[in-house]
Amino acid sequence: MQFSGRGCESCAESTRESTLTNTHDDSETLRGFQPIGQFKRPPMPTDESLRRVGWRLWRRLRGNPASDPFIAAESLSLANAKQLDKLAAPPACGPLLDELTTTFADWLATAEPAHWVQLVVLPPCDQSDVLRSWAVANKHSIVEPPERMSLLCRKACEIELDGSQSLLVLPRIEHWFLRHHLGLNQLQQLLNQLVEIKQHCIVGCNSWAWSYLSKAMQTQLVLPSPLTFEAFDKDRLRNWLTDLSTSDDHSSTFRFAKSGTKIFDEQAIPRATEDYFAKLAARSLGIPWVAWHQWRRSLKISSEADHKIEERFPHERTVWVADLAEVGIPSDNMQVGLLMLQSLLIHDRLTAAELAATVPDIQCSNVLAALLDAEIVYRDGHELRCDPAAYPAVRASLLAAGFPGDPL
Amino acid sequence: MDDSDKTKEQAAKLINDLQDINFVKIVVILFAAWLIIFLAQKLLPILARNGPSKLRLTILNVVPIVRLLAVSFAILRIFPIVFNVTFQNFLVIAGGASVAIGFAFKDYVSSLIAGVVATFERPYRPGDWVEIDGDYGEVKVVGMRALSLVTPSDDVITIPHKKLWEQNISNSNDGQRTLMCVTHFYLTPDHSPALVRDLLRVVAMTSAYLEYDKPVLVMLENQPWGTHYKVKAYPFDMRDQFAFVSDITVRGKAALAELGIEEAAVLAPLENASRTL
């Protein structure tokens, strides 16, 4: 079947119907990507919404009310990175790599497609670099963005699109320094080339960058039908994270820190587990890498000296699943902070110098330090990135402050 | 009974006997009206400031409506307690009030009536950026008699509502969250206007404050000393208007300097003198 931009709905539908062998039931049918307009974030359960409002009110009136969990929070500590990698192994993109293959299989098989260029729009904070990973795994040609600092030095950056018949992948055009007049000029040259290209080409872009480019360059006219994955609801998340947990050789048992009950039960799905993953799906906005990071943040281990727990659950290596942590955005001088976060979302990653070139008045503020301290922003080498686990809170703050949002 | 007795009787009926007036009730009504107005004036701006930005102006606009309703309620409740309301008495009171207003409180009452009109016609609302009689600023409070503007220089200017009858009122955002900002560039004639126009458009497009849903326009006109460029764009929040203009100015100058384009060193006519930082 020919896969074209305008015909992608039928393609997405047909790919949804194609079932691949999987360890789970029919809910685990391999899905295809869909138009971004069909992205539906999982709803927050009503009781959870009420609970959050009530909790905030109660906390404001009473301070910190005492709770009675199965295991005290003081007895738990965060698992280290090595342990976490065993409990929830990377990459954080779930089955999306397979879904990309499914989505574009027919289009790639077409010698003369109606649209040579396809656009994939993904939510931000994608540390796994889904599209690049897929391109590398399938040995497709990757077009790398020019160095951002070379743009600032006004060095000419030639964009070379090879004329071969192989698939070209531009994994993340947000890395092209969008919010700089020289960066936009460079990107305009790229778009001009893409309009005339006669070669299969997939362009990747995050949703914040896409929203910005649609305004700044009317990119939606050149790349009219962006595709994205189907939001991860509670069932998809549970199945995926169950798979990740069972890949641990040590056969850890995951238990709720609040009640001590098992979260993954072989016999049936407990109500508490249903609720937990419904909350996780809603809080992560249906984005797998955000859910993966939030899940890892909630995994705790008890201290070595806790014999009571060992007596209660002998011959078991227990991993405690704490309540999902609320991420708070610092409230002081946050106008500059929000401008920084918006810039980081649009560009995915920026050095301090590049950030200063896109956001005014940050040199004299200590907001960056506050954001780093609150684990909303983190350093990845010499670059700054927004933490995926904090993305829903960042997004909510930006939208509440009136910033232009993203389509996902 | 002679005429003087009749007149006395009518006068006695105009205002209820003191022993019939429930002063406690009047105090309670006045206190309730004051409390409602006080709470609306204190709490709603806090709610607007801390709530979603999209609802800020809507919440602020509720304040004058609440005040008008509270005052109307208080007057309607207190009037029959104090006065013996009949058609004849109404004419007597209206006549007396007309004389008093005509001679002593003309401007005050004119402002009060204009305030009521302003509540419904809404030429300005709390949070709007308006220019009245040469003063430009954000409307902070719309009171019964006057409104308060805070200028970019942080001066508070009180303007009676009766200006509504006499002056043109320029409202920059008219209840919207954003307003058009104009950034000026004055350049010497020896440059490519098409290149500069595109450059300034992209500079505005790359501003952190830009509202995506509004257009960015670059206008230019020839002047005897060179070319005058106007970059017209909208910030996503009108409170950022001066930061937005400053940002475009800084980055626009830097981009022009990179291309070796010189700014004109001549005095240009100052437009919108009140709308400066």
* Tens digits of residue pLDDT in A142-154: 888 888 877 766 6
Give whichever of A81-90, A214-223, A308-317 has the largest mean pLDDT.
Answer: A214-223
Percent of chain A with pLDDT over 70: 77
Maximum distance among all Cα pairs of chain B, rounded to whole angstroms: 101
Is A250 in the same domain as A355? no
For residue B103, being part of any structural domain is answered with: yes
A253 by DSSP, 3-state: which? strand
CA–CA distance, B228 with B104 (Å, rounded to integer) = 52
> A208: which 2 tokens?
């914040």
Alpha carbons within 13 A on the beta-carbon side of B56: 18
B182: which residues sit within 8 A by CB, 6+ positions away? B230, B231, B232, B245, B272
Tell me the one-letter amino acid at A142. I
Average pLDDT, integer, range B103-129: 85
The pLDDT tens digits of the residues spanning A364-404 come to 667 888 888 888 999 988 999 999 999 999 999 898 888 88
User: B9 and B96, same structural domain?
Assistant: yes
Domain count, chain A: 3
Query: Are A399 and A139 a contacting pair, CB within 8 Å?
Result: no
- Tell me the two tokens of residue A316: 């078991």
A285, A363: one domain: no
Contact B210 A215 (CB under 8 A): yes
Enter the tokens of residue A250: 């040590």
Highest mean pLDDT among A108-117, A353-362, B202-211: B202-211
Last residue of a domain, one of A165, A194, A228: A228
Query: What are the tokens at A334?
Result: 């946050």
Q: What is residue A19's predicted lDDT score, i.e. its pLDDT?
A: 32
Tell me the per-residue pLDDT of A258-299, one tens digit each, with 9 for 90 and over. Answer: 777 788 776 777 778 888 888 899 999 999 999 999 988 888
In a domain, B238, yes or no: yes
- Which among A289, A321, A353 is the end of a domain? A321
**A77 and A194 part of one domain:** no
Domain of B197, CATH number, reads: 3.30.70.100
Q: What is the pLDDT of residue A194?
A: 84
- Contacting A with CB below 8 Å, chain B residues are 51-54, 177, 199, 202-203, 205-206, 208-213, 236-237, 240, 243, 246-247, 250-251, 255, 258
Same domain, B191 and B264: yes
Residue in B177, B208, B243 closest to A342 by CB: B208
pLDDT grade for A23, boundaries at 50, 70 and 90: very low
Residues A85 and A97 in one domain: no
* Bigger pLDDT: B30 vs A361: B30
| Residue B108 sits in the same domain as residue B19 | yes
Contact assessment for residue B18 and residue B36, using Cβ atoms and an 8 Å cutoff: no
pLDDT at residue A302 in the model: 74
Q: Give the CATH number for residue A136.
A: 3.40.50
Residues B24 and B100 in one domain: yes
Give the least confident one: A24-33, A177-186, B209-218: A24-33
Interface test with A, best of B203, B206, B210, B213 (most A CBs within 10 A): B206
CB-nearest to B236 from A180, A181, A403 is: A403
Q: Is residue A166 part of a domain?
A: yes
- Chain segment B39-92, per-residue pLDDT in tens: 998 888 888 877 777 788 788 888 888 888 998 899 888 888 888 777 777 788
Residue A364 structural domain: 334-400
pLDDT digits (tens, 9 = 90+) for A122-131: 999 998 899 9
pLDDT bin (cut points 50, 70, 90) of residue B234 is very high
Return the ∠ at Cα A294 (arms to A292 and A295), rounded to 5°.
65
Q: Which range (A53-62, A138-147, A229-238) has the least confidence?
A: A53-62
A135-139, A143-147, B104-108: segment of lowest average pLDDT = B104-108
Q: List the single residue in A184, A342, A404 with the smallest CB-CB distance to B202.
A: A184
Task: Say if residue B40 is in the same domain as residue B74.
Answer: yes
Residues B29 and B100 grouped into a single domain: yes
For A180-221, the pLDDT digits (tens) are 888 888 888 888 888 888 888 999 999 999 999 988 888 888
Q: In the structure encoding, which two tokens stand for residue B74, read together? A: 């208080």
The CATH number of the domain holding residue A393 is 1.10.10.10
Q: Which two tokens stand for residue B214?
A: 């509004």
Both tokens assigned to A293: 């990071």
User: Between helices A207-216 and A334-347, what is the axis angle to 10°?
Assistant: 90
Average of per-residue pLDDT values in chain A: 79
**What would you report as the CA-atom Rg of chain A, rounded to the nearest whole angstrom?**
23
- The boundaries of the domain holding residue B149 are 129-171
Are A246 and A271 members of one domain?
Answer: yes
Q: In this predicted structure, what is the pLDDT of residue B235?
A: 93
CA atoms within 13 A on the CB side of B16: 15
In a domain, A316, yes or no: yes
The pLDDT score that the predictor gives to residue B201 is: 94
Rounded to the nearest 5°, which phi and psi values hold at B125?
A: -135, 160
Residue A394 in domain: yes
Domain-located, residue A53: no
Phi, psi of A62 (to 5 degrees): -110, 0
Dihedral sign from CA coordinates of A397, A52, A371, A354: negative
- Please indicate whether, in this complex, the C-beta atoms of B205 and A215 are within 8 angstroms of each other: yes
Q: What is the pLDDT of residue B137?
A: 92
Q: Is the pLDDT of residue B219 over 90?
A: yes
Q: Which residue in the block uniquely carries the two structure tokens 């098409």?
A: B194
Beta-carbon separation of A402 and B247 below 8 A:
no
A217 versus A14: which is more confidently predicted? A217
Residues B24, B111 share a domain: yes
For A320-340, what is each residue's pLDDT tens digit?
888 887 787 877 777 888 999
CA distance B52 to A391: 18
pLDDT score at A297: 87
pLDDT the model gives residue A20 = 32
Do B58 and B115 share a structural domain? Answer: yes
Rounded percentage of chain A residues whose pLDDT exceeds 90 = 19
Compute the distance between CA of residue A89 and CA of residue A354 in angstroms, rounded to an integer.
32
pLDDT band at residue A163 using 50, 70 and 90 as cut-offs = low
Q: Which 3 state secondary structure label does DSSP give A180?
A: coil
Name the range with the highest mean pLDDT among A49-63, A242-256, B239-253. Answer: B239-253
State whether B112 and B10 are in the same domain. Answer: yes
Amino acid A158: pLDDT:
61
CA proximity to A210, closest of A12, A388, A36: A36
For residue A403, give how far its alpha carbon lies from the nearest alpha carbon of chain B (Å): 6
Reply yes or no on whether the pLDDT at B132 is more than 80. Answer: yes
Put simply, the answer to whether B236 touches A404 (Cβ < 8 Å) is: yes
Tell me which DSSP letter residue A75 carries. Answer: G
Average pLDDT over residues B154-181: 89
Report yes or no on B194 lying in a domain: yes
Return the closest-CA partner of residue B207 out of A391, A193, A339: A339
Contact between chains at B237 and A342 (C-beta distance less than 8 A): no
Do A14 and A162 share a domain, yes or no? yes
- Residue A91: asked if its preceding bond is cis (omega within 30°), the reply is yes
Tens-place pLDDT, residues A37-47: 778 888 877 76
**What is the pLDDT averaged over residues A62-89?**
65
Q: Is B176 among the domain residues?
A: no
Phi, psi of B200 (to 5 degrees): -65, -35
Final residue of a domain: which of A173, A207, A228?
A228
Instruction: State the greatest distance between any 2 C-alpha atoms of chain A, in Å, as a whole number.
Output: 70
Domain-located, residue B245 = yes
Mean pLDDT of A72-100: 75
> Parallel, antiparallel, or unpaired: how do β-strands A383-386 and A377-380 relate?
antiparallel
